[in-house]
Chain A
Amino acid sequence: MTSTRSLPGTGAVLMTGVWLHDPDDPEATAVNYVYGGGKSDTLDTMGQGTLYAGREYPIVDFGEGVNAEVSVTIQVPAGSTWASELASLDAIAAWKRTVMYRDSRGRKVPGVVKDYARSDQRWGTEVTFTITQVDFTEVV
């Protein structure tokens, strides 16, 4: 893998909905799902608390790791793009590789897809899944 350094620049990226892509090849693989039904994230620092004799409150030991997840709901409305959008989501869910998740609130999370589920709706299909962040070094 090669990498180059450039001078820093400033700018803003405006996104709509949810974007998913291969972190090593965003241009060719990025897919935009405009109707993001809902996104939320959690961060667990995985502290282990123990109450020791003689103390009133526990001591919490922390390691190096954190567990970060984004819960995502995507709405795929019925129409001409319904089948292709669902197929692309299915493919990403079965990818077994790191996917880059980005959304309209500025989240940028390299992770793996877990708990992928589809449910039929009157207006189309609702897809839910979780992105669990992985240890990933981005090369620019």
Chain B
Amino acid sequence: MLPFAPAGVDHNPNQHSEDEVLTALRGRHGTRRFSFRYDVLTYGLVKLADWTSVISASVEQNWLADIKRKARFTVRDTGDVNYLDSLIKPWARLHLPPYGDDDWVEWSQGVFVPSTPQRHADPAGLVTRDVDGFDLLQVLVDDCVSTRYSVSASTAYTSAVATVLASAGLAGNIHASTSVLPVAMEWDPGTPKLRVINDLLSAINYQSLSFDEDGRAVVAEYVSPAARAEGYTYADDTDGLIIPEVDQELDLFSVANQWTLVVSEPDRDAIYASYSNTDPSSPTSIPRRGRTITDFRTEQQAVDIVALYAKVARLAFEASQIYEAIDIQTALMPVHSGNDVLRLRYGPLGIDDKYSEQSWSMGLRAGAPMKHRVRRVVSV
């Protein structure tokens, strides 16, 4: 989740407190007031101009996708943006009592690479464009290594990641790791730089690369949702913001209860790591089901057996999360980031648990509903 009360006067001019912001977000006085604005940035993340020709916009986040955040803008075609060398940064602004000129807080909704869009002319002669936007991961999908790319043994993994990021003109917040490559790693010409980075991150059990709402790359250790604090609670109570139509999915049929990962590389001995769910309290465990369903994966990357065990445990944990998914719609809450951890309480379905957010989407419009898909965090 983003900070409820942004620091600094640029995005919280009257320094409203977290309590004040939460009171307004929860509509405790019966109303909420939003406005939206759009910055045009250079690739160096420097603001060029306000983009004032936006008619409507929407943003969506999917933590499991390669390109995690996307947007769509419908704009009047005024020629004020060069789609080839600009970035778009939408902002959602919440106005707060006493509703003076500086009584607001605002949150960035991401930094987007705009597509070169089609133009439409309506019967009245109004020319518009539907501009799709992709977060900065798109830069690393499009930018491929032109020759065989190798990272030599003994290089720190996170240093190698920083080097690839810099080669694409990107910077980030990198939580450095002391792990170093045991042997050299190589990638074929034409491999997207995102693949190179995610291979490196995967080997040290870091989360796949993402970008924050200000367009900075996030390179950080994977932390399971169970070990993270809940960022917000959605409940059907007097502060509730859940639209009362909730869908719950429960599919236990194909959930594996044994996972095996194999690292098999030419210059080193093969490493195996296996994890079995033998917990009698787990409905999908081997003793409870009376059979074994194996998820066997080869061609894995891991620095050593310890990292491979951590990886297989993570795989087992994540695989179990498909077992309960909930789709809810809430009021517009422009404070979500990626992979947030939430508590959800909903009486009619007997739900009261901690969930990680797989995806969300919303229109940047006052009164628009926000769709969320969350998965339940279950220990197998």
State the A residues within 8 Å of B (CB): 47-55, 57, 59-64
Contacts and interface: CB of A to CB of B under 8 A. Distances in A.
Interface string B93-105: 0000000000000
A61 B27 CA distance: 9
A51 B32 CA distance: 13
Contact of B33 (A55, A57, A61): A61
A61 B367 contact: yes
Interface residues of B, number: 26
A91 B36 CA distance: 37
B298 interface: no
Interface in B221-240: 235-240
Contacts of B239: 54
Interface stretch (B127-135, B179-187, B241-249, B283-291): B241-249
Main secondary structure of the interface of A (DSSP, over half): loop
Main secondary structure of the interface of B (DSSP, over half): loop
| Residue from B27, B332, B365, B367 with most neighbouring chain A CB atoms (10 Å) | B367
A54 B27 CA distance: 13
Given A48-B366, A53-B243, A59 B238 contact: no
B266 interface: no
Given A48-B367, A53-B346, A59 B235 contact: no
A62 B241 contact: no
5 contacts: A53-B244, A59-B27, A60-B31, A61-B33, A64-B35
Contact of B34 (A50, A53, A61): A61
Given A50-B369, A53-B244, A54-B240, A61 B331 contact: yes
B34 A54 contact: no
A140 B367 CA distance: 37
B31 A54 contact: no
Contact of B30 (A48, A53, A60, A63): A60
Given A50-B243, A52-B236, A53-B243, 7 more contacts: A52-B244, A52-B330, A54-B235, A57-B30, A59-B241, A59-B331, A61-B367
B270 to A, nearest CB: 53
Nearest to B345: A54
Contacts of A61: 27, 31-34, 331-332, 366-367
B236 A53 contact: yes
A55 B238 contact: yes
A63 B243 contact: no
Contacts of A64: 35, 366
Contacts of A47: 31, 367
Interface string B321-357: 0000000001110000000000000100000000000
B365 A63 contact: yes
